[in-house]
Structure 1
Amino acid sequence: MAAAVLVPFAAVAPAQPAAAQARTLTVATDGSDSGPGTVAAPLRTIQRAVDLAGPGTVIRIRGGTYDPDVNIRIEKSGTPSQPITMRAYDGEHVAIDGENMPNTPAPSGESYPRVERGAIHVSGDWWRFEGLEIVNGPYGIFAIESSNNVYKDLVTRDNYETGLHLVLDSSDNRVINLDSHGNRDPRKNGESADGLAIKQGAGSGNVVTGARLWNNADDGFDSWDFLTPIRVEDSVAWGNGFDRWGFPGWEGDGNGFKLGRGTADHVVNNSIAFDNAVGGFIDNGNPGSLRLENNTAWANGGSGFVFDRSASTLNRNLSVADGAGVDLGSSGGSGNSWDLRDGWSNADLVSTSASDIKGPRAADGSIPATDFLRPRGHAGLGADLGEDDGGGGPAPVRHEAEHAPATCDGAIDADHPGYSGSGFCNTDNATGVAARFTVDADSPVTAALVIGYANGGSGGRPAEAVVNGSTTGPIPFAATGAWEVWATTTITVRLDPGGNTVRLVATGSDGLPNIDYLELSPGEA
């Protein structure tokens, strides 16, 4: 706790218990759980703050190491308009160390109760976790049947299972700028400790952006038996699957991005897998129609791309210096390095130095901008984490019209191909009908909102944007020529910190066009 807020003990009035559902609660290593949870008289344990929190509460954790004897359990939920936030206090370094918890590690070959998994165990919805480091836990974060959560600017390292693990029915979760490394599983000899796993469940709208996943026992990213599409973008996985701990009977798989087993049409864009023990990007027996665009595999022990058991589409991907050639089976695509020519080598790359991509993140939390593995003379090929693409700036956040918390005054349909996600909003034909989205902002910002739509009618379908109850301007929604022809239009709005309600409201009697998504691209503040 900062010295500026300390006063002589004799002058301090008896502390009062913190009020339930206080808007802000502060935790510090020298606090007291009988205190009010203010900056001057903080709580001592994170669990006490969780117990007192309600919708809209912000839990601010002062710098230091917190080493509880049992895991932190989050079993309550915020709301769409009032999520609960747990974050480091004003950029201070916060470490949650699980070494004193049970099952660190669990005995070899044995299981243990799910509620004991994770230094932070999450079974609630509508939470935001920001700026925390979680180490030495029985899993770092273990989230089970939890949705609409944001995991941002986290470090999960050296845990005794996967760093960040989402399991069972889980939807509309966002993982942003995660660093997850050195996670291992002595009880399974490396078989299941990944950097990030979204496994054994279903749920739409899960998105991973800007993750770095390295030196984990099993894989960088694993979507084993998750049966709904996951979107991964602008992420990097390296050094996974090597036995760095001397385990007997090593069983680590060693892939950068493992995208199976169950049927799901996962999407991976603008990501890099390098120096993994076995594969770069693999379908792992997923028979679905995956889509991979502008990814790069380099110097992996096996193949850079293995999609021989799926019907996937691969476009503009790059494979160089991997231990084996690509293995596509019946999967197809175009513009990939293997479509262009044979014989790619390191001499075809601008840089093979990984120092930038492994270095400190940018001030906004993004992966450092770099020319690492960019091909010479092929601007549109492979992943690009340079200044203008990928790293170096905030990534767009897409909100699908068919996924909660979005709502539609009409029906979610899927009868006109070409849309993003699993459907689109088809409103009733009436004035005043709307498609509603909730858009998060960390601070006041002027932002560009890109709207995907199709208008197969003979003329425009006028509408207006209403943000937090205030009309911001008209949207013409010009005709696109057919309902299968999708287009975008962009509006500029002012967003407040927290959740913002954005409504697209029809001002004509034909209602809105079909609305596919709303995508946030941060602009000038």
Structure 2
Amino acid sequence: MTPKSYLLILFSSLTIHLFHSNSQKANPRSWFVSPDQEQQGNGTLDQPFNTIERGLSEANPGDTVYLLTGVYELEKGLLIEKSGTENQWITLSNYKNLPVMLEGKDYLFDSEGKHLSTDHHAVVLISNSQYFRIHGIQVRNSHSQGIIVRGPETAHIEISNCKIDNTFGSGIGLWYSDNTKVFDCEITGANRMEMATPGRKVGSEAPHEALTVAGATNFEIYQNEIHHCDKEGIDVKEVSQNGKVHHNVVHHLKRQALYVDAWFGELKNIELYENVAYENEWGFVISVEGENSIVDGIKFHHNLIRDNRGSGIYFGIWGNNLMRKNIEIYNNTVVRNGSPNHWSAPTGGIDLRSPNFQDVVIKDNISVRNYGFDLAIPFPYNQENLEEKQLSLINNWVGKNMVVEESSSYGPLFKVNEPTVGSEIFQDFQNNDFRIVKQNIPEKLKKRAHPGA
């Protein structure tokens, strides 16, 4: 073959490939699925498929599979292993924003007839998939988990506008996936012991958390509401790295709203900002529970933490209680946290209970009207201790410097000498309007950025 002939063949092949790609991109298809099991159509709106699996099997990059409104009764989990491309995602969505419910109450056993575990089973499991989004789907009554994204070969996944209710394990979980986003979702009733498969041997509590991020990388969790669940809210754990958690509202949980907790190694580079947490056991907690683990690089800023039973911001002592370092906590509003005679007493605002930290900056926070204290550390407040731990306490405004005389096995706390300010700095403290009234605060505080300003 002459060089000229080779170039002509190559050019023709490229032309055919580009034409095929562009025509496919320009003409994405819509497939339709009905919950009516008697329906056996061809996937059009007038003659929809009768199973979600059939719709997904037909979908190519750029296509959308629409679920028509109704309840889809599932006896097995929906496994999604479809991939789009960077410019042509595959989408599974409700149709015209009408309600679609995936009912999991009859999904009890795996393919071998064993009780469902919560490690590899979910009503919706996205695995071996890339460039796939799920939108507008409701999931309820799962004896395992709700929607799970499992990698590490799974990447570029979006879960949006979904609602998960009443699960044994996580409502939504990201397990070792990459570049996953969860936004505009609602999770209720997660981690319910009574949702275990009947007859299954269970431990002392349901597994995982309402929204679990376990070993995931480059993730983003935002604009979700998580409430009335039996354990933690958003938990970034294990060796997760390079993620953002922001603009979420987490309330009425039996444990902490926002949790960062290392297991199995290094958890690093997590930023949490502009979240609201109220009426939980704790607001925000950093722990290192796992053996041979470390937390390195956390930014927690511009959050509102109020009315939690335990402390608002807390360095947990649970598990192996190992090192956390390079922590920045700044521009947060922490009010009315803590309660009398709490089992982890004393409780209050900013609570650095564990002494296992290094290089921590606590800066420009407002912490007032918390129960036991507004800001306290686990060793006497003096220059030597601050330098040893590389702890910087800069321009925090607190209302109470004394630590109440309550104790537990959780260890001692000591007062911090910081400038004091009262609740009069807020627009309407009693009615939860925490915008700052500029004329009521010191000059230095007027320049402070603030989530309600």
Q: Give the TM-score normalised by structure 2.
A: 0.67
The answer to whether the 8 Å contact 1:31/1:41 transfers is no
Report 1:80-479 matches (<5 A).
80-102=86-108, 112=117, 114-115=119-120, 117-123=121-127, 124-137=129-142, 138-145=144-151, 146-168=154-176, 170-186=177-193, 187-199=202-214, 201-203=215-217, 205-241=218-254, 254-262=255-263, 263-277=267-281, 279-285=282-288, 286-307=294-315, 309-311=323-325, 312-323=327-338, 324-325=347-348, 326-328=350-352, 330=358, 331-338=360-367, 339-343=396-400, 349-350=426-427, 372-377=433-438, 380=448, 382-384=450-452
Figure out how many residues of one structure are paired with residues of the other and give that number.
Answer: 329
Change (3 A) 1:176 1:319: same
The answer to whether the 8 Å contact 2:118/2:207 transfers is no
CA distance in 1, matches of 2:39, 2:72: 14
The answer to whether the 8 Å contact 1:32/1:43 transfers is no
Q: Whose radius of gyration is greater, 1 or 2?
A: 2
The answer to whether the 8 Å contact 1:271/1:383 transfers is no
- Secondary structure at the aligned position of 1:259 is classed as strand
**1:462 equivalent in structure 2:** none
The answer to whether the 8 Å contact 2:109/2:116 transfers is no
CA positional deviation for 1:195: 2.0
Change (3 A) 1:95 1:275: same
Change (3 A) 1:353 1:82: farther
CA distance in 2, matches of 1:130, 1:29: 17
- Greater Cα shift, 62-71 or 220-229: 220-229
Query: What do the CA deviations read for 1:433-464 (whole angstroms, capped 9, x no partner)?
Result: xxxxxxxxxxxxxxxxxxxxxxxxxxxxxxxx
Query: What do the CA deviations read for 1:109-159 (whole angstroms, capped 9, x no partner)?
Result: x873744x1111110221111111111122110111021011111111112
CA distance in 1, matches of 2:28, 2:39: 14
- AA aligned to 1:147 is A
- AA aligned to 2:51 is T
CA positional deviation for 1:181: 1.2
CA distance in 1, matches of 2:366, 2:429: 17
- Secondary structure at the aligned position of 1:172 is classed as strand
- Secondary structure at the aligned position of 1:79 is classed as coil
CA positional deviation for 1:221: 0.4
Query: What do the CA deviations read for 1:277-320 (whole angstroms, capped 9, x no partner)?
Result: 2x211112253120011011111121111247523001111111
**2:415 equivalent in structure 1:** none
Change (3 A) 1:272 1:113: closer
Change (3 A) 1:33 1:79: farther
- Secondary structure at the aligned position of 1:140 is classed as strand
- AA aligned to 1:214 is H
- AA aligned to 1:289 is G
Change (3 A) 1:40 1:31: farther
CA positional deviation for 1:29: 2.0
Change (3 A) 1:172 1:353: farther
CA positional deviation for 1:372: 5.0
Change (3 A) 1:351 1:239: farther
The answer to whether the 8 Å contact 2:166/2:190 transfers is yes
CA positional deviation for 1:66: 0.7
Higher strand share: 2
CA distance in 2, matches of 1:351, 1:32: 58
The answer to whether the 8 Å contact 2:399/2:422 transfers is no
Report 1:26-105 matches (<5 A).
26-30=32-36, 34-102=40-108
- AA aligned to 1:302 is G
Change (3 A) 1:148 1:264: same
Q: Tell me the C-alpha RMSD between the 2 structures.
A: 2.9
CA distance in 1, matches of 2:37, 2:48: 5
Change (3 A) 1:113 1:289: closer
- AA aligned to 2:178 is S
The answer to whether the 8 Å contact 2:277/2:283 transfers is yes
Gaps of 5+ in 1: 1-20, 242-253, 355-370, 390-525
- AA aligned to 1:310 is R
Change (3 A) 1:173 1:37: same
Change (3 A) 1:193 1:346: farther
Change (3 A) 1:322 1:71: same
The answer to whether the 8 Å contact 1:375/1:381 transfers is no
The answer to whether the 8 Å contact 1:320/1:345 transfers is no
CA distance in 2, matches of 1:53, 1:297: 44
The answer to whether the 8 Å contact 1:163/1:193 transfers is no
Change (3 A) 1:313 1:113: closer
